[in-house]
Amino acid sequence: MVKFAYEAYEEDLLRREYCAKAKEYGDQSAVFGEKNRRITVFLNPAARGGRGTKLFEKNAAPLLYLAGIEVNIVKTEYEGQVKEFFQFLETQHVDGIVVAGGNGTLIETVTGMLRKGDKTFLQKVPVGVIPVGESNKFASYFYGSDKTEVRRMLDAAMAVVEGRTERQDVLKIEGDEGKTIFALCGLQAGAYRDARERTPKYWYFGPLKHRFTYLQSALRGWPPTMTGELEYTEARDSDIAVKRQRQPDPVPNPESKGLLLSVLSLFSRLVRSRVTRPGLQEKEEEEDVEYLNTRTVNTDLNTVEFTVSSMFDKDKQSLGGVTLGLGPSDLSKADFIKQGWSRLGLPTWQVDIPGNDHVLCRIVKVRPVVPEGKQLWYTIDGEQFEAMPVQISLLKNKLKVFSRPQSNTR
């Protein structure tokens, strides 16, 4: 009880400190009479067991208001709503997007922005992430997985206040059925993913449930290999880049502004004034190119783990590819359990491990074989999707995001 009270007191002091910093930005913008900056917040009230709204209002909202930002809050009511909203949202409506939720809300936002197909919108409108959900892989990676929950939310909100931005790579995941998803971290499939997803079922083991799930997985359906067809195009220095002809951006619908404002009026809170946005040199978005003189490999897939990541080996990312990770095809039960337990201390955002085989690729195509009577799943940025044939590629420096370089522990 004493420890809980002390932690609550420390968190209140931290909130006061960040509020004072945010107020400095609001006071400064008021002195210079700048036009107010408009931020639309997609808030998932169901996040964290219904505590999403309370967490946002307690930790993030005060900073935005004190900084003099005009805040429009849209509370999501059903899956897919955020993606629909981007059909009407244009650059004249908003100066930034903030996602207050978990993995699912962020995937919807990124997918909605990229499906919109408006390059001007992507160049001008940055995205911020307030991690009020049960899990948010990208926020843990971007704002630091070693921080407390409250500090991570405060840092994320302060990133929006300060207005610094940088560009992030995006994974484009195209399904055979024409469905395209855009992600920031990566895709996982295989035995370790399946064991981790079953962990909540063993809640009665308390803190030991994270270890028991690997024991139980070793006793069922062994060997737990993922099979299918795999095709990938390697990313090499000898590849020749050729610029593609770009289609013109779509013309904004003049009726969309009135419709959007009527929707926002149901959800919004408005606060006048503006926060200054310090300039920061950014990486430019990579032009739409195709590569010649490439090498494509076709092989059978037989592995206990299959991953595709945008962030595993940043030293090689100048080549503009995704990292394909393949685990062993043959693994003893003891090694599986040992490896599973060793992963318990890894950051929540980590998609792959150094022990797997890795190939830097331009494009990865996988066609998994799903055994009759069973289901196979992918985890994409922390969200489950039914496995199907997919093609994965990297969109280099595609998304503009709010950042705090001095607080980033990557």
CATH number of the domain that residue 65 is part of: 3.40.50.10330
For residues 67 and 205, state if they share a domain.
no
Regarding whether 217 and 105 lie in a shared domain, the answer is no
Average pLDDT over residues 284-300: 75
pLDDT value at 316 more than 60: no
Instruction: Give the position of tokens 């595993």.
Output: 312
Confidence of residue 286 (pLDDT cuts 50, 70, 90): low
Domain-embedded: residue 167:
yes
pLDDT of residue 147: 75
Average pLDDT in the 113-122 region? Answer: 89
Residues 153 and 43 in one domain: yes
Maximum Cα interatomic distance, the chain, rounded to a whole number of Å? 68
Q: Is the pLDDT of residue 60 over 90?
A: yes
Averaged pLDDT for residues 347-354: 75
- Model confidence at 409: pLDDT above 50: no
Alpha helices in 33-182 (DSSP H): 47-50, 52-55, 61-66, 81-85, 103-116, 119-124, 137-143, 149-162
Say if residue 110 is in the same domain as residue 74.
yes
Q: What is the mean pLDDT of residues 197-221?
A: 92
Q: Of 297, 283, 294, which Cα lies nearest the Cα of 123?
A: 283
* Domain carrying residue 216: 186-239+294-380
Query: What pLDDT, on the 0 to 100 scale, is given for residue 265?
Result: 45
CA distances from 154 to 24, 33, 39, 279 (A): 16, 26, 17, 21
Residues 266 and 338 in one domain: no
For residue 97, is pLDDT > 70?
Answer: yes
**Residue 226 vs residue 283, higher pLDDT:** 226
pLDDT at 310 exceeding the cut of 50 = yes
pLDDT (0 to 100) of residue 364: 96
The confidence band for 389, taking pLDDT boundaries of 50, 70 and 90, is very high
Domain membership flag for residue 298: yes
Averaged pLDDT for residues 146-155 = 86
Same domain membership, residue 354 and residue 218: yes
- Residue 250 resides in a domain: no
| Higher-scoring residue by pLDDT: 253, 150 | 150
Nearest alpha-carbon partner for 189 in 372, 408, 366: 366
Q: What is the pLDDT of residue 278?
A: 45
Asked if pLDDT for residue 352 goes beyond 90, the answer is: no
Q: What is the pLDDT of residue 361?
A: 92
CA distances from 385 to 122, 291, 378, 381 (A): 26, 30, 5, 10
Residues 109 and 148 both lie in one domain: yes
Residue at 70 is within a domain: yes
**Which residues, in sequence order, are bridge partners of residue 305?**
190
Indicate if the pLDDT at residue 66 is higher than 90: yes
Is 252 within a domain? no
pLDDT > 90 fraction of the chain, expressed in percent and rounded: 51
Tokens linked to 14: 């931290």
Q: Specify if 111 maps to a domain.
A: yes
**pLDDT value, residue 223:** 80
Question: Average pLDDT for residues 133-147, to the nearest whole number?
Answer: 79
Assess whether 264 and 235 both reside in one domain. Answer: no
pLDDT confidence band for 240 (50 / 70 / 90): low
Radius of gyration for the chain, computed over Cα atoms and rounded to the nearest angstrom: 22
- 233: Cβ contacts below 8 Å, ≥ 6 apart: 291, 294, 295, 296, 297, 361, 362, 363
- Among the listed ranges 74-78, 248-252, 368-372, which one has the minimum average pLDDT value? 248-252
Q: Are residues 90 and 229 in the same domain?
A: no
The pLDDT-based confidence of 373 (bands split at 50, 70, 90) is confident
Residue 273 has pLDDT above 60, yes or no: no
Residue 267 predicted with pLDDT over 50: no
38-56: pLDDT as tens digits: 999 999 998 888 888 999 9
The answer, yes or no, to whether residue 22 has pLDDT greater than 70, is yes
Confidence of residue 266 (pLDDT cuts 50, 70, 90): very low
Lowest mean pLDDT segment, chosen from 90-104, 177-191, 203-217, 340-354 = 340-354
pLDDT given for residue 268 in this prediction = 41
Residue 249: its pLDDT value, please? 52
Tell whether 67 and 199 lie within a shared domain.
no
- Structural domain includes residue 386: no
pLDDT the model gives residue 73: 93
Q: Which of 108-117, 288-297, 329-338, 354-363 has the lowest mean pLDDT?
A: 288-297
Flag whether 247 is in a domain: no
Average confidence (pLDDT) over 229-238: 88
Task: Confirm if 297 and 231 have CB atoms less than 8 A apart.
Answer: yes
pLDDT at 5 over 60: yes
Give the integer Cα–Cα distance in Å for 94 and 121.
Answer: 10
Distance between CA atoms of 95 and 192, rounded to whole angstroms? 41
Residue 291's pLDDT band (cuts 50, 70, 90): confident
More confident residue, 96 or 286: 96
pLDDT at 127 over 60: yes
Q: What total number of domains does the chain contain?
A: 2
Say whether both 198 and 126 belong to one domain. Answer: no
Pairwise CA distance, residues 276 & 69, whole Å: 10
User: Residue range 286-293: average pLDDT?
Assistant: 66
Question: Residue 18 has which token pair?
Answer: 């960040």
Residues 6+ apart with CB under 8 A from 35: 274
Q: Are 274 and 349 part of one and the same domain?
A: no
Mean pLDDT of the chain: 83
